[in-house]
Structure 1
Amino acid sequence: MPIIGNGKNKGVNVNYAIDTSDYIRKLSNIERMYLWSPYSDVSMVTRIKGNISEEKLRSALDIVLQMHPLAGAKIVFDEDYNAWFSTDNVFKPFFKTVNRISDTQWLEELQGEVKIPFNPETGPMIRFVLVYSEKVSDLVVICNHSVCDGMSLVYLIRDLLDIYTHPEQEIKVIEPVDIKDFLPKGGFSLQSVMMKLVMGHANSKWKKNPYYFDHNDAVAVQDAYWEKYVFNTVLLELEPQETKSLLKQCRNKGISIGSAVIAAFIAAHEDIVGTFVKNQKQLWVPFDLRRHATTSVGDVFGLCIGAPRFSYNYNAKKPFWGNAAVLHKEIHERVAKLDSHTMETPDSHPTFMDALSSFALLKEVVPEAYTKTENLKKYFQDKKNITFSFAKRSRSMVPGTIPSNLGRLNIPETYGDLKIDRMIFFPVISDSVPLNLGGLSIGNKMVFSLSYPESRDKINTMTGEMIQIRNRALEYLGFPDKASEKAIEDTINGVKRTCQMQK
């Protein structure tokens, strides 16, 4: 791996030319964007009824990591600092079991784990926590976004429980892909082409004075970030009959549940907090590109999402369901056209992406981190570096809402003596995006997470606001009786409790 350095002192490359023929493939720029960022993990919590064996689960996990190579991969950097996926001599993933004492204990485990940086060079970039009791357990999976998306975690958990139940079955490796290779020509926008030209010019300037970041730099920034913030979430949960009721209402109006929930959260945010500022009156809406590939790629584990970005103004003078219908039409037209330009990146040098996405954007958020390593000091003092001007412009493009809705999952609920009771999805969060939503339903139990980094200096202030937004969204959807002053329901030993998430 290259020693840290800049354009005037590039350092010495201690990695001589390497043979990449045995590696899985090179990371794309979009995957590279999430490699070092402190809030670049996606997570899934799966509640499992039944007495699950830790030993059998660990054995099944060994097989699943062979089935889905990226889940068990590390990153190797070549002499040009390109990053490659490799499964050669990778450690086993972190796995721990803790005794389950409440329905909300998974949150404490998740809050602790998201603060711990993954080391891409040792890998793998995934970890597991089993919050165990004899009758019900919560499986918490945390994974770096550079190797997976939300559906990847769904497929991994499904296959893990399937192999757990039927360990004798023949296992087929699902080879990872670069999803762009399977998209039809013309699926990308003119806007992305223009951005490619602009950043091509920036790339030429970057190459005159580049910086090479490593794990120590990333740890310094991530530690500083999570000393200032704590991961938190508020859940909107509907039981089967409630989900069916909402589905019937949405069908009568010709829209999807997802569109209705997104519109409800946007309306609620404007009621509680106020109208979005100008640049935040837009959405990024991730969607699964696997469903649109011209060649079948199967249930592949990897980063396989597109995301249109478009302006959207909620019109408070019109009825809620009319607003939801407008939003539904906009989303589905853009997905049908494979409008995914926000997920594309130009052919800039990957170190430019490292600097922009994981270091330049956080310069003003955690300036104290940039004194922790010599490389960060030099970078921080380079005031005219092209990535800082790009970071300033990038902030004006940040949307107000990013709804990552996986929809109704088409996977089994029952695996032998085990049954999935519910699943909760947590996409990548950001301190600059007001509404980060993650949604899915299984067994007609629908859960939407509203997640955010909360400042430790104002702990619970933001959570109180998010609870109000959730409650107002429930009103718009027709469930005012489900409003609560708490963020997550907690039932243990048959007694219903609530949990105000405090840390």
Structure 2
Amino acid sequence: MQCVDRTQAVAVCRPLGALEHLFWLYDRAHPFHFALTAQIKGRFSVHQLQQALTLVQQRHPLLRVRIALDEAEQPWFVEDSAAIPLRVVQRQSEQHFEREVEREIETPFVWSQAPLVRVVLVHSGNDAQLSELIVTCHHSIADGISITYLIRDILQAIALRALPSRAIATPTALGQSLPVPPSREDLVPGNAPETISGLKPMPQFTRMSGSFPVVQPMRQNNRQSVSASSLSPETTLLLLTRSRQEQTSVHGAICAAFLLAIRQQNHSEQPQNLKCMSPINLRPYLTSFNQEDVSLWISAGRTSHHLSADANLWDVARSLKQQLNQIMTPDKLFEEIFQTQQWASTHPSPDVVLQGFKDQLFDSDIDVSNLGRLTIQQQYGELELQAIYGPVVRTGAKNDLGVTTLGDRLFFTLVSEESVMSRAQSKTLHEEAIHLLKEAIE
């Protein structure tokens, strides 16, 4: 039996890559999925959204998979026929989506059941017609940047369904169904990517997740608090301009502001050593492939900061940028990919992976997942994409911050564990960091 199903454009059957494998193991010890939220202005029906989800699921292969184990107990992505789950709630307020994101983050995936993605629509019934679309993914199949492309494809599909001719509303209207995306290691320059579809015999999948304990939703005392905010176009431009003048980056300035806010919240006059983790987009470093796949093509780096009571935001921002520049070289990034391969080949247990990630990356005071300036459009027929918040993820860091720049505005989403920091403290931290950022550029 072969991996190719001749009745479909693309059939999925490939082993997990090294990072995908480790993220799957990590998820078995600590729920590891993330959510991105799109704020949309304009009218569309639940039926239109359901049709759009069907189209994008046909386009992106990893939206159709579950994870199964072969006879050697190695995990594979295997296609399964299951529609993307859609939950619809009536929008109550501008902050309502934050509570729904908290619920999504607290609800783990069952990795043996397809698909490893789900959607929530916070639907508006008023004249303003503002709605939020929350896309939640198991981290083994995707990263934040790839889900921004998925959100674009969903909105394109809704816009296509609104046109008079239904004949164009097919997967090809969004482009051909994509091939199965390779893993990171297959795209390192100099490597020969494996031919993924059709050349490998289908293994026998003999053991499913019923043989393993299913990760349960988090306990009441381990809930998450989510808060979102944004900068005006004028403030966003000022931050960009001032960051360039200070010979640093917007990412450096944002990380510095939140690190200093954490330092202030610790209420100590003594110098403090704080750590910041920054995911890194690998797409600019990998060999040519469709850059807009739903896929997992990231790395990460952790920076350390010795902060005194009078630490200057721009000094911290420059230090962070310099440390990341040392990490973000092709040689260092490819070395990390090969080390990850080597680690995965040792068949570590979920607990070993949990501890390993904590020691190397996630034992940080804050994780700042900055997706940068998004290149996707904002107008889709009569629909306007007004904001993207996130990614919201529970890495295991004390705080996780998602940052995006859409159009001329910056958007922030902070998630904190209530067992570590109360909802009020998290909101104060968020507000103080934004205040420090604005203060630094005025």
TM value normalised by structure 1: 0.72
- Report how far residue 232 of structure 1 moved: 1.2
Does residue 329 in structure 1 map to residue 322 in structure 2?
A: yes
- Partner of 1:127, secondary structure, is strand
Does residue 418 in structure 1 map to residue 410 in structure 2?
A: no
Aligned residue identity for 2:422: M
Would the alpha carbon gap of residues 303 and 338 (structure 1) be closer, same or farther in structure 2, given more than 3 Å must change? farther
Does residue 258 in structure 1 map to residue 247 in structure 2?
A: no
Which residue pairs with 2:182 in the alignment? Answer: 177
- Report how far residue 396 of structure 1 moved: 9.5
- Report how far residue 287 of structure 1 moved: 1.2
Which residue pairs with 1:166 in the alignment? Answer: 160
Which residue pairs with 1:209 in the alignment? Answer: none
- Report how far residue 23 of structure 1 moved: 4.0
- Partner of 2:418, secondary structure, is strand
Which residue pairs with 1:46 in the alignment? Answer: 38
- CA deviations 1:6-29 (Å, max 9, x no partner) are xxxxxxxxxxxx866764321123
- Report how far residue 112 of structure 1 moved: 2.2
- Whole-Å separation in 2 of the counterparts to 1:51 and 1:350: 52
Which residue pairs with 1:149 in the alignment? Answer: 143
- Report how far residue 229 of structure 1 moved: 1.4
- Whole-Å separation in 1 of the counterparts to 2:269 and 2:101: 30
- CA deviations 1:211-236 (Å, max 9, x no partner) are x99357443x423x334311212334
- Report how far residue 419 of structure 1 moved: 0.3
- Report how far residue 275 of structure 1 moved: 7.3
Would the alpha carbon gap of residues 99 and 471 (structure 1) be closer, same or farther in structure 2, given more than 3 Å must change? closer
Would the alpha carbon gap of residues 277 and 332 (structure 1) be closer, same or farther in structure 2, given more than 3 Å must change? farther
Would the alpha carbon gap of residues 33 and 292 (structure 1) be closer, same or farther in structure 2, given more than 3 Å must change? same
Would the alpha carbon gap of residues 30 and 288 (structure 1) be closer, same or farther in structure 2, given more than 3 Å must change? same
- Whole-Å separation in 2 of the counterparts to 1:347 and 1:430: 19
| CA RMSD between the two structures | 3.2
- Report how far residue 329 of structure 1 moved: 2.5
Checking the alignment, whether the CA contact within 8 Å between 2:37 and 2:388 is kept in structure 1 is yes
Checking the alignment, whether the CA contact within 8 Å between 2:188 and 2:287 is kept in structure 1 is yes
- Report how far residue 177 of structure 1 moved: 1.5
Would the alpha carbon gap of residues 100 and 318 (structure 1) be closer, same or farther in structure 2, given more than 3 Å must change? closer
- Whole-Å separation in 2 of the counterparts to 1:398 and 1:118: 24
- Whole-Å separation in 2 of the counterparts to 1:446 and 1:56: 29
Which 5+ residue runs of structure 2 have no aligned equivalent? 5-10, 162-167, 192-206
- Partner of 1:405, secondary structure, is strand
- Partner of 2:364, secondary structure, is coil
- Partner of 1:249, secondary structure, is helix
Bigger CA drift: 262-271 or 242-251?
A: 242-251
Aligned with residue 353 of structure 2, among 357, 363, 367: 357
- CA deviations 1:425-484 (Å, max 9, x no partner) are 1342145x22322100112221122212223xx8xx52222223223222321259xxxx
Does residue 476 in structure 1 map to residue 441 in structure 2?
A: no
- Whole-Å separation in 2 of the counterparts to 1:44 and 1:325: 29
Aligned residue identity for 1:24: C
Aligned residue identity for 2:105: V
Aligned with residue 439 of structure 1, among 387, 403, 424: 403
- Report how far residue 140 of structure 1 moved: 0.8
Does residue 140 in structure 1 map to residue 120 in structure 2?
A: no
Would the alpha carbon gap of residues 161 and 394 (structure 1) be closer, same or farther in structure 2, given more than 3 Å must change? same
Would the alpha carbon gap of residues 170 and 93 (structure 1) be closer, same or farther in structure 2, given more than 3 Å must change? closer
Checking the alignment, whether the CA contact within 8 Å between 1:145 and 1:428 is kept in structure 2 is no
- After TM superposition, the structure 1 = structure 2 runs for residues 243-254 of structure 1, keeping only pairs within 5 Å, are 243-254=236-247
- Partner of 1:51, secondary structure, is coil
Would the alpha carbon gap of residues 106 and 471 (structure 1) be closer, same or farther in structure 2, given more than 3 Å must change? closer
Aligned with residue 312 of structure 1, among 284, 299, 305: 305
Checking the alignment, whether the CA contact within 8 Å between 1:308 and 1:339 is kept in structure 2 is no
Which 5+ residue runs of structure 1 have no aligned equivalent? 1-17, 187-211, 362-389, 481-503
- CA deviations 1:396-446 (Å, max 9, x no partner) are 972333211001111101100000111101342145x22322100112221
Which residue pairs with 1:131 in the alignment? Answer: 122
- CA deviations 1:147-166 (Å, max 9, x no partner) are 11101110100111112212
Aligned residue identity for 1:290: R
Would the alpha carbon gap of residues 118 and 128 (structure 1) be closer, same or farther in structure 2, given more than 3 Å must change? same
Aligned residue identity for 1:90: S
- CA deviations 1:127-157 (Å, max 9, x no partner) are 1111111411110111110111101110100
Identity %: 25
- Report how far residue 323 of structure 1 moved: 2.0
Would the alpha carbon gap of residues 320 and 122 (structure 1) be closer, same or farther in structure 2, given more than 3 Å must change? closer
- Partner of 1:330, secondary structure, is helix
- Report how far residue 41 of structure 1 moved: 0.9
- Whole-Å separation in 2 of the counterparts to 1:149 and 1:450: 17
Would the alpha carbon gap of residues 101 and 80 (structure 1) be closer, same or farther in structure 2, given more than 3 Å must change? same
Checking the alignment, whether the CA contact within 8 Å between 1:162 and 1:415 is kept in structure 2 is yes
- Whole-Å separation in 2 of the counterparts to 1:327 and 1:228: 33
Checking the alignment, whether the CA contact within 8 Å between 2:111 and 2:209 is kept in structure 1 is no
